Amino acid sequence: MTAALSLVASHVLAQAKVLDPGRHHVLHPAAPQAGHIEWLYWFIFWILFAVFVLMIAAFAGAGAKARVVASGPLPIVEKDEEADHRAGWAVGSAMAITVATLFVVLVLSVVTGKRVEGLTSKNPVTIQVTGHQWWWEVSYPNSQADQTVTTANEIHVPVGSPIVILTNSKDVIHSFWAPNVTGKRDLLPGYSSAFWFEIDQPGIYHGQCAEFCGLQHAHMGFSIIAESVDEFQAWQQQQLKNAAEPSTSEAIRGREVFLTHACLMCHTIRGTDAGSRFGPDLTHVASRNMIASETLPNTAGALAGWIVDPQRIKPGTQMSPNPLSPDDLQAVVAYLQALH
């Protein structure tokens, strides 16, 4: 029984937000989808908790009633029609209750599933998310190619608008999951699928890859940045622009270094000769909070450390080390930090 109580206690504690400074939690919904699921979770939880208590009570009661302390094997209980009859009724009723309970769970589950998955808007914001080992390519497709925003790992969405996520994968299977927002969806190579959500409260919601995808599965995070419609549109306008022209001499030299070293083999910076799509688009890299798929803060030091030896930070990552001279490194970092 103590274990049963601790089960309740810990669930109650888990509900108390004060214990969860990260607010990264399945049961702290920021979207109606996660909200429906949270409701279903608690509904099923309390049903099952009651079942648990009853079953443990039954076993404990049976044990207490029937227990005999003896050293050797006891004689066999004589056949007792009466007892069998009563046991039959008890087992039969328990089975009936089980079936009824399961039916309730089934119906609620299917209804909740419909509420989570049914799309209610004709005018959603559509976002294409493509999984890569080990980062997320994010684009906001538009019929006009030059109106398509492409970024990585940070997904800006307007609060209160329906969002449709189109999924795809470039290599292995990944799974897109932001616990506060909605359930996960696998990104499968060879398949594209769509699901939707809508975020109520502005904020930054962390997400990560949930399907094991190789060496750096642990460092494949993303974030969903929910902001007001105005902020979102401003962000989008900014992202549509070509890369900012470097203004300082150091940044100008940084661009030179970028375009004459291995960087341009993998990365795009719109407005320059760098146009490869193998790695994340860096046109507005300075506008992001984090780098390396939410592994490091977007600071000069972290950026420099990442450029020189990404294999130390994310062993196995597709980016190779860049043994730049200190001056070159500083220049590239200055250039990248100017790409707002």
Partner 1 sequence: MAVAESIVANDQDTGQSELALRLARTWRQPGGFWGWFCNTHHTDIGIRFMVTAFIFFLLGGMLAAMIRLQLIRPENSLMGPDLYNQVFTMHGSTMIFLFAVPLMFQGFGVYVVPLMCGARNIAFPRLNAFCYYLYVGGALVLWGGFLTNTGPDVGWFAYVPLSGPSYSPGHRADIWSQMITFTEVSALGVAICIATTILRYRAPGMTLNRMPILLWEKLVISMAVIFAMPAVMIASGLLLLDRLVGTHFFNPAEGGDVLLYQHLFWFFGHPEVYIIFLPGAAIISTLVECFSRRRIFGYTPIVVSVVATGFLGFSVWVHHMFATGLPQLSESFFTAASLMIVIPTGTQFFCWVATIWYGRLQLRLPMLWCFGFFFVFLIGGLSGVMLASVPVDLQVHDTYFVVAHFHYVLIGGALFPMFAGIYFWFPKMAGRMPSETLGKWHFWLFFIGFNITFFTLHFLGLRGMTRRIYTYSPDMHWQGLNVLASSGVVFMTAGLLVFLANVFHSMRVGAIAGNNPWGDAGLEWSMSSPPPPYNFLHVPTVSGRDPLWEDPPDQAIVVGLRDDIRETLVTHSLDAEPQHKDEDPGPSIWPFLTALSVSAAFVGSIFTAWAVPIGAVPVIATLIGWLWPRGESPTPLPTGESWLR
Partner 2 sequence: MASLNEPIRTPLTLDVSALPSVAFGHRNTTWLANVFYMAIEGMMFALMFATYFYLRTRSTEWPPGHLPPALRYGAANAAIFLVSIIPAWLVRKRAPEGDRRAVRNGLLFLALFALAATLLRAFEFTTLNCRWTDDAYSSTVWVLIGIHSGHLLTELIETIVLLLISFTPKMEGTRLADAAINSDYWYFVVITGLMVDVLIYGTTRFL
Tokens of 2: 């103590």
| 22 is a contact residue toward partner 2 (CB under 8 A) | no
| 76 is a contact residue toward partner 2 (CB under 8 A) | yes
CB contact burial 94-105 (16+ within 10 A = b; e otherwise): eeeeeeeeeeee
326 interacts with, out of partner 2, partner 1, none, CB within 5 to 8 A per kind: none
- Give the nearer residue to partner 1 in terms of CB position, either 74 or 145: 74
Name the one residue in this structure whose structure tokens are 């429906």.
36
Whether residue 150 contacts residue 139, with contact meaning beta carbons closer than 8 Å, is answered with yes
- Give the nearer residue to partner 1 in terms of CB position, either 75 or 326: 75
42 interacts with, out of partner 2, partner 1, none, CB within 5 to 8 A per kind: none
Residues 91-150 within binding reach of partner 2 (CB under 8 A): none
Nearest approach in angstroms of CB 115 to partner 2 is 30
- Give the nearer residue to partner 1 in terms of CB position, either 115 or 261: 115
Whether residue 164 contacts residue 127, with contact meaning beta carbons closer than 8 Å, is answered with yes
- Give the nearer residue to partner 2 in terms of CB position, either 22 or 75: 75
- Number of Cβ within a 10 Å radius of residue 235: 19
Q: DSSP per residue over 211-228, as a string?
A: S--STTGGG-EEEEEEE-
Nearest approach in angstroms of CB 75 to partner 2 is 7
278 interacts with, out of partner 2, partner 1, none, CB within 5 to 8 A per kind: none
Query: Residues in contact with partner 2, total (CB under 8 A)?
Result: 3
24 interacts with, out of partner 2, partner 1, none, CB within 5 to 8 A per kind: partner 1
- Give the nearer residue to partner 1 in terms of CB position, either 177 or 258: 177
SS3 state of residue 182: strand
Tokens of 285: 């890299």
Whether residue 112 contacts residue 38, with contact meaning beta carbons closer than 8 Å, is answered with no
Nearest approach in angstroms of CB 189 to partner 2 is 12
| Torsion region of 121: left, alpha or beta (phi above 0 gives left; psi -120 to 50 gives alpha) | beta
CB contact burial 251-262 (16+ within 10 A = b; e otherwise): bebbbebbeeee
- Give the nearer residue to partner 1 in terms of CB position, either 44 or 259: 44
Nearest approach in angstroms of CB 131 to partner 2 is 20
Nearest approach in angstroms of CB 56 to partner 1 is 7
Nearest approach in angstroms of CB 80 to partner 2 is 17
- For residues 216 and 58, give the distance between their C-alpha atoms in angstroms, rounded to a whole number: 48
| 75 is a contact residue toward partner 2 (CB under 8 A) | yes
Cis peptide before 42 (omega within 30 of 0): no
239 interacts with, out of partner 2, partner 1, none, CB within 5 to 8 A per kind: none
Residue whose C-alpha is closest to residue 196's, from 208, 209, 185:
185
Residues 175-204 within binding reach of partner 2 (CB under 8 A): 190
- Give the nearer residue to partner 1 in terms of CB position, either 185 or 284: 185
Measured CA angle at 155 (ends 150, 160), to 5 deg: 125
- Give the nearer residue to partner 2 in terms of CB position, either 63 or 73: 73
Tokens of 43: 């509904």
52 interacts with, out of partner 2, partner 1, none, CB within 5 to 8 A per kind: partner 1
229 interacts with, out of partner 2, partner 1, none, CB within 5 to 8 A per kind: none
Nearest approach in angstroms of CB 179 to partner 1 is 4
| 69 is a contact residue toward partner 2 (CB under 8 A) | no
- Give the nearer residue to partner 1 in terms of CB position, either 99 or 145: 99
Whether residue 272 contacts residue 256, with contact meaning beta carbons closer than 8 Å, is answered with no
| Torsion region of 59: left, alpha or beta (phi above 0 gives left; psi -120 to 50 gives alpha) | alpha
Beta bridge partners of 227: 158
SS3 state of residue 339: coil
Site of interaction with partner 2 (CB under 8 A): 75-76, 190
